[in-house]
């Protein structure tokens, strides 16, 4: 399988993961079907959209409308299952996987435009966390990004490592796997042990 095809498949999976969590959050807030679609779409597509716009490039959903199928599937599953309970452990794991894929994919995308390492990391984190941040804001929920689970730190660690491995010309697929695993491990450990960044007391 070619690298570009693998990236597209991973983007599709990440879109579905973020959209599923977004739809569940909207359902738990008592939103109607329109709200579910909006929150699911923002959760899954906003990060990549901002990343691309910063690079003066068309958003991914403009070039690949099939990404909307992932959003629609997530919303339909939520509606059919009548899932209105708060996000559980399984969906957190799914969200973590989406975070890992989005981090690696966004960092790789930025490097493809020959950006500096710092810019690639910033856009890698932006593509990974923006959707979840806007999801929480629109749902009138305290953003998870700002107070727990080290989502930003996880994405930062994975993106930095991916850039380093790319600098040493490690195989793209291997770099992606290693970078993604770092994101997953850091976030899962932060959830399990309730790690947070320091706060002003």
**Beta-carbon count within 10 A of 87 CB:** 18
Residue 42 pLDDT greater than 90, yes or no: yes
* pLDDT, position 7: 67
Residue 138 pLDDT greater than 60, yes or no: yes
Whether this model's pTM surpasses 0.85: yes
How many Å apart are CA 97 and CA 103, to the nearest integer? 10
Q: Average of pLDDT values for 174-179?
A: 94
Q: Average of pLDDT values for 102-111?
A: 93
* pLDDT, position 34: 95
Nearest alpha-carbon partner for 18 in 173, 123, 148, 136: 136
């Amino acid at each position: 399988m070619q690298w570009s095809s693998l990236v597209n498949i991973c983007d599709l999976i990440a879109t579905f993961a973020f959209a599923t969590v977004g739809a569940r959050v909207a359902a738990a807030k008592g939103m109607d079907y329109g709200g579910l679609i909006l929150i699911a779409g923002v959760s899954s597509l906003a990060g990549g959209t901002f990343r691309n716009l910063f690079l003066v490039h068309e958003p991914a959903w403009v070039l690949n409308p099939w990404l909307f199928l992932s959003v629609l599937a997530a919303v339909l599953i939520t509606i059919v299952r009548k899932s209105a309970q708060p996000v559980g452990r399984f969906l957190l794991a799914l969200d973590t996987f989406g975070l890992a894929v989005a981090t690696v994919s966004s960092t790789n995308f930025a490097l493809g435009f020959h950006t500096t390492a710092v810019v690639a990391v910033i856009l890698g984190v932006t593509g990974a966390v923006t959707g979840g941040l806007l999801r929480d804001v629109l749902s009138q929920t305290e953003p998870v990004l700002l107070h727990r689970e080290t989502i930003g730190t996880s994405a930062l660690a994975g993106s930095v490592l991916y850039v380093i491995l790319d600098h040493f010309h490690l195989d793209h697929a291997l770099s992606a796997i290693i970078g993604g695993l770092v994101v997953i491990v850091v976030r899962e450990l932060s959830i399990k042990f309730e790690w947070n960044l320091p706060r002003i007391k």
